[in-house]
């Protein structure tokens, strides 16, 4: 059974600081997704990583994938308050988008 | 361009009752998946519909059933509701049934079972 673990589960950081969220998964897969969820809202797609060594960047967020280590990271650079949300990684081992999500990392950026 | 729409947004039921949730996929999408998100947890895959057939199923009992209509919209039915069924139910749509498809999620239907 595929297991996806994220850490930390909760992260409080000051504006302007850098930090990394880690996503470990138990079974080989080369399809990993990052989503953002604001309180009471739905999931918004951030990144799709489809191969070993893949790196994607959008604004202050950068995601990478190491399939050999079964690890993905979401790096936050110079955090701003607007990045406060819960971030989920999800792994797909099926042939068609049957995602297994991690427990999420709740990010709180303080002024 | 309408995204994924779900109804109702909130509903309250009592144990033993039945509920039907509805989902209209994003324009151009033909595959619908349903996820259950308990409070403070990540979403869990319930099942997926493509060409009006259930194609994949997660670890959920038969009390959870669904349907997809010719216009690609979908319903999720839950029978004999339990307190543990209280959750946010998310519908996601995508195009096609293979490969790495980015899911577009709806805002969800929040079910409370008393």
- Residue B101 banded pLDDT, cuts 50, 70, 90: confident
Count of domains forming chain A: 1
Rounded average pLDDT over B35-43: 94
Domains of chain B in start order, with CATH, are 5-97+106-113 (2.60.40.10)
Which tokens hold the place of B32? 């619908």
Residue B100 has pLDDT above 80, yes or no: no
Round the average pLDDT of chain A to a whole number and report it.
93
- Asked if the Cβ–Cβ distance from B56 to A98 is below 8 Å, we say yes
Rounded average pLDDT over A32-39: 94
Residue A52 has pLDDT above 90, yes or no: no
Which of A52-66, A82-96, B6-20 has the least mean pLDDT? A82-96
CATH number of the domain residue A66 falls in: 2.60.40.10
- State how far the Cα of A77 lies from the Cα of A17, in Å rounded to an integer: 7
- Residue A81's domain comprises 4-110
Check residues A30 and A54 and name the one with the higher pLDDT.
A54
CA distance to partner chain B, nearest, from residue A92 (Å): 8
- State how far the Cα of A66 lies from the Cα of B50, in Å rounded to an integer: 31
- State how far the Cα of A32 lies from the Cα of A51, in Å rounded to an integer: 9
Contact with chain A for residue B41, Cβ under 8 A: yes
- Number of Cβ within 10 Å of residue A1's Cβ equals 6
**Structure confidence by residue, pLDDT tens digits, B52-88:** 999 999 999 999 999 999 999 999 999 999 999 999 9
Give the chain B residue whose CA is nearest to the CA of A40.
B107
In the prediction, which pLDDT does B1 show?
59
**Structure confidence by residue, pLDDT tens digits, A77-97:** 999 999 999 999 999 877 677
Q: What letter does residue A96 receive in the DSSP assignment?
A: B
Task: Identify whether the C-beta of residue A107 lies closer than 8 Å to the C-beta of residue A81.
Answer: no
DSSP strand E in A1-111: where?
A: 4-7, 10-14, 19-25, 32-37, 43-49, 55-58, 61-66, 71-76, 85-92, 99-101, 105-110
Residue B93 has pLDDT above 70, yes or no: yes
Buried b (16+ CB within 10 A) or exposed e, B66-86: bebeeebbbbbebeebeeebb
- State how far the Cα of B24 lies from the Cα of B93, in Å rounded to an integer: 9
- Asked if the Cβ–Cβ distance from B33 to A101 is below 8 Å, we say no
In the prediction, which pLDDT does A1 show?
83
CB pairs under 8 A between A and B: 69
- Number of Cβ within 10 Å of residue A55's Cβ equals 12
Q: Quick one: how far is CA A40 from the chain centroid?
A: 19
Contact with chain A for residue B63, Cβ under 8 A: no
- Asked if the Cβ–Cβ distance from B48 to A96 is below 8 Å, we say yes
Beta bridge partners of B110: B10, B88
Which residues in chain A (40-79) have CB-CB distances under 8 A to chain B? 41-45, 48, 50
Dihedral pair phi/psi, residue B48, rounded to 5°: -135, 140
In the prediction, which pLDDT does B20 show?
98
Measured between beta carbons, the chain A residues lying within 8 angstroms of B102 are: 33, 45, 48
Q: State the SS3 of B10-59.
A: EEEECCCCCEEEEEECCCCCCEEEEEEECCCCCCEEEEEEECCEEEEECC
């Amino acid at each position: 059974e595929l297991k996806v673990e994220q850490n930390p589960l909760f992260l409080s950081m000051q504006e302007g600081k850098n930090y990394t969220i880690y996503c470990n998964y138990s079974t080989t897969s080369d399809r990993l997704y990052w989503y953002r969820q604001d309180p009471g809202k739905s999931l918004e797609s951030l990144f799709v990583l489809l191969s070993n060594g893949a790196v994607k960047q959008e604004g202050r967020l950068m995601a990478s994938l190491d399939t050999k280590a079964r690890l993905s990271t979401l790096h936050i650079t110079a955090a701003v308050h607007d990045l406060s949300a819960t971030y989920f990684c999800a792994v797909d081992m099926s042939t068609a988008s049957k995602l297994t999500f991690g427990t999420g990392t709740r990010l709180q950026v303080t002024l | 361009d309408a995204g994924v729409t779900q109804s109702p947004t909130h509903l309250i039921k009592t144990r033993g009752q039945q509920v039907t949730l509805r989902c209209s996929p994003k324009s151009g999408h033909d595959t619908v998946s349903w996820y259950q998100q308990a409070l403070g947890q990540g979403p869990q895959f319930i099942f997926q519909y493509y060409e009006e057939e259930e194609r994949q199923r997660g670890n959920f009992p038969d009390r959870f059933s669904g349907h997809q209509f010719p216009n690609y919209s979908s319903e999720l039915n839950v029978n004999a509701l339990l307190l543990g069924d209280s959750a946010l139910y998310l519908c996601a749509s995508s195009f096609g049934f293979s490969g790495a498809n980015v899911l577009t999620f709806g805002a969800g239907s929040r079910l409370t079972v008393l």
